[in-house]
Chains A and B, each alone.
Chain A
Amino acid sequence: MQVRDAFLTIESTTEGRNALRLTALGGVVRAGAAQILPACPELSTVMQADGPVVVVEGFAGDSLAALLQTGPLRSAQAIRLLRSMATAVDELHRMGFVHGRLRPSSFVVDGLQNSQPRVRLVDWAIQWQPPTPGQIQQLSHALAPELIFGEAALAASDQFAFGALAHQLLTGHLPFGGESTSETLLATLSGHWSLGEAGELPVDALSRVFSHEPAQRFNSCTAFVDAMDREIAEATAPLAAPAAAAYSGGYSAPVAAPVEAAEPGWWARNGLLVAGLFAALAFALGIASWFVQRQIADVQASVGESMKAAKWTLADNGRMKVCNNSQHQVLIRDLAVGYWDSARKLTVFESSRAQHGGWTVEPESEQNLSSLAGPWDGSVVFYYLHVEQQGKEYLLSGTWQEVPKGCLAIASQ
């Protein structure tokens, strides 16, 4: 750390990390000349060194410059952070000071994930001095037009630089590009600022904060943040047309910011990933379905083979029943059946051998057959019937499992 002239410069003790302590400044800042500024909680002490010096209370946090290296913030998070930053800058202005050199390293942030991050404004002087050529080169990306023209820094100049920081937080890129300092300054003077690649930008608010005329900018940085917040909130309607690639200063050509449904920033970053995941899931399910379909085909083939083999399953005895669906009497002259006996032996019953007189089946009737006085109870696996109907003879034979509905039609239709 070093105190030089009217500037208090805070340098990181480790990369991207500040751990400032008053004691660390003890050798440089002269004690005994302290002036408390109770109206500004961000500032604790004003001391007189070689020139007026504001000493910032020691605290831990991350430099905004380091945070920006991780890419743009979600719009809601960026707005929360910008609101805290704006409070500090506005407080500085309220006390009658102008920073004049706002840049990412001017802010140290603690508790970025909180609803109200703690922000410390550092790196500013009580008495502003015009930037040197070297400082212009360093600050070219956020230098207000009036400062480029060598005019004195105003609160509106800080607001211009604050707008550049806001743009960078939302897009991850500087608003005024250029490969050289002169190109950057030219872009600033021409009013062409980049819309970046973020999902949405509060174009109207940024256009106003980047106005050439300081008087056309906002009354305060907080008002600028409010305007951005409103614009982003209003844009959370259905999808809007893509914004133009570049936007000229002034208010004449507002461009709708891209809007997405619930969480546009998140969706802009992860939408393709989500779509890809669902597509991958669909593909995986398709592959799995293909395997299942193959299994079904295999199983069905197996079933076909099994059913073919099982076609002649004769495990159970049927119960001999005949149906005469005709209008004429049918005489069963001879009958022979094969059936399983209790020892599961194929046994034969012959009607004539048992001296059975045969059966007469009346028209439109059904009849269970069994031997009147023999051992046959009507069980049947194989059957043989010699029947006579109206002088015509028929020979019926088959297996009982093929008899539909368990009743053998014995009459000619």
Chain B
Amino acid sequence: MSQGAKHEGGLSPAGVSLLAVLAVAAMLVSGWRFVSLNAKLSEARQAQSEAESLTSRAIVDRLSLPANRPLQICNHGGEGKVTALAAFYWTQDGTIEQFNSAKEGWFTWLLPAGKTVPMQWTDGSQRLWDGAAIFYAVEVQRGTQTQLIAGTSANLDGGGCAAAGKE
């Protein structure tokens, strides 16, 4: 003889009700999590759309910006020296970095008269800036006179030379 209060599956009605409550609770938690994740996914897709837009713009910028060229100073005047230099250049991973001589202890470069001097900077044996530039600004000092030379790699003179000493 079997228990009249038992469910066919062997569970009491209270057990079945408890199972049902647990199942409903699990469903509600899963549902809430699903909805939350969907909202998060929507936000992520929005961010993705914006990022892709930025990427597109970055690509346009990259196409608009000139390419790297080695920065050289053609000294058309007497002996002088580069007292300040800042140069921006493309890195291999497509970002733009800069070199600032003031951050390297106000490093200077000598400019012998009538010579062309490539600009680069090494720290011991390690070359930290190879002279590549898409935009540069250089201050050349002769005596008490200081000349600011700025430009882009697109308008460097032939051979990649920024003219100093020309007035």
Q: Which A positions have Cβ atoms within 8 angstroms of B? A: 171, 177, 194-201, 203, 239-246, 257-260, 264, 267-269, 271-272, 274-279, 281-283, 285-286, 288-289, 292-293, 295-296, 299-300, 302-303, 306-315, 334, 336, 338, 340, 344-346, 348-353, 382, 384, 386, 394-395, 397-399
Residues on the B chain within 8 Å of A293, using CB: 37
Nearest chain B residue, comparing its CB with the CB of A196? B4
Q: How far is the CA of A246 from the CA of B2 in the complex (A)?
A: 8
Nearest chain A residue, comparing its CB with the CB of B27? A282
Q: Which B positions have Cβ atoms within 8 angstroms of A? A: 1-9, 11-14, 16-17, 19-20, 22-24, 26-27, 29-31, 33-34, 37-38, 40-41, 44-45, 47-48, 51-52, 54-55, 57-61, 64-66, 84, 86, 88, 94-96, 98, 100-103, 106, 134-135, 137, 139, 146-152, 154-155
Q: Which interface residue of B5, B17, B23 has the most chain A CB atoms within 10 A?
A: B5
A-B contact pairs, 27 of them (CB 8 A): A194-B2, A239-B17, A242-B12, A275-B22, A278-B20, A278-B26, A279-B23, A282-B30, A282-B31, A285-B30, A292-B37, A295-B41, A306-B51, A309-B54, A309-B94, A310-B51, A312-B95, A336-B150, A338-B152, A340-B64, A345-B64, A346-B135, A349-B150, A350-B148, A352-B147, A384-B150, A398-B98
A289–B20 contact, CB under 8 A?
Answer: no
Q: Which interface residue of B3, B101, B134 has the most chain A CB atoms within 10 A?
A: B3
A299 touches which of B13, B44, B64 (Cβ 8 Å): B44
A271 touches which of B13, B27, B52, B103 (Cβ 8 Å): B13
Q: How far is the CA of A386 from the CA of B1 in the complex (A)?
A: 101
Dominant SS among interface residues on chain A: mixed
Contact A314:B61 (CB < 8 A) given known A241-B5, A245-B3, A386-B84:
yes
A310 touches which of B57, B65, B98, B148 (Cβ 8 Å): B57
Dominant SS among interface residues on chain B: helix
Top 5 A-B pairs ranked by shortest CB distance?
A242-B5, A310-B54, A195-B4, A306-B51, A336-B150
A384–B41 contact, CB under 8 A?
Answer: no
B13–A258 contact, CB under 8 A?
Answer: yes
Q: How far is the CA of A350 from the CA of B135 in the complex (A)?
A: 12
B9 touches which of A272, A282, A302 (Cβ 8 Å): A272
Q: How far is the CA of A199 from the CA of B20 in the complex (A)?
A: 17
B13–A303 contact, CB under 8 A?
Answer: no
Residues on the A chain within 8 Å of B135, using CB: 338, 346, 348, 382
B44–A268 contact, CB under 8 A?
Answer: no
A278–B27 contact, CB under 8 A?
Answer: yes
A126 → B minimal CB distance (Å) = 39
Q: Which interface residue of A171, A177, A203, A334 has the most chain B CB atoms within 10 A?
A: A334
Nearest chain B residue, comparing its CB with the CB of A297? B44
A197–B2 contact, CB under 8 A?
Answer: yes
Contact A350:B150 (CB < 8 A) given known A278-B24, A285-B31:
yes
10 A-B pairs besides A195-B4, A348-B152 with CB distance below 8 A are A200-B5, A243-B3, A272-B7, A275-B19, A278-B23, A286-B30, A289-B33, A296-B44, A314-B65, A348-B135
B103 → A minimal CB distance (Å) = 8
A78 → B minimal CB distance (Å) = 14
Q: How far is the CA of A299 from the CA of B98 in the complex (A)?
A: 31
A289–B98 contact, CB under 8 A?
Answer: no
Residues on the B chain within 8 Å of A308, using CB: 95
Q: How far is the CA of A137 from the CA of B58 in the complex (A)?
A: 96
Contact A313:B61 (CB < 8 A) given known A271-B20, A278-B20, A348-B151:
yes
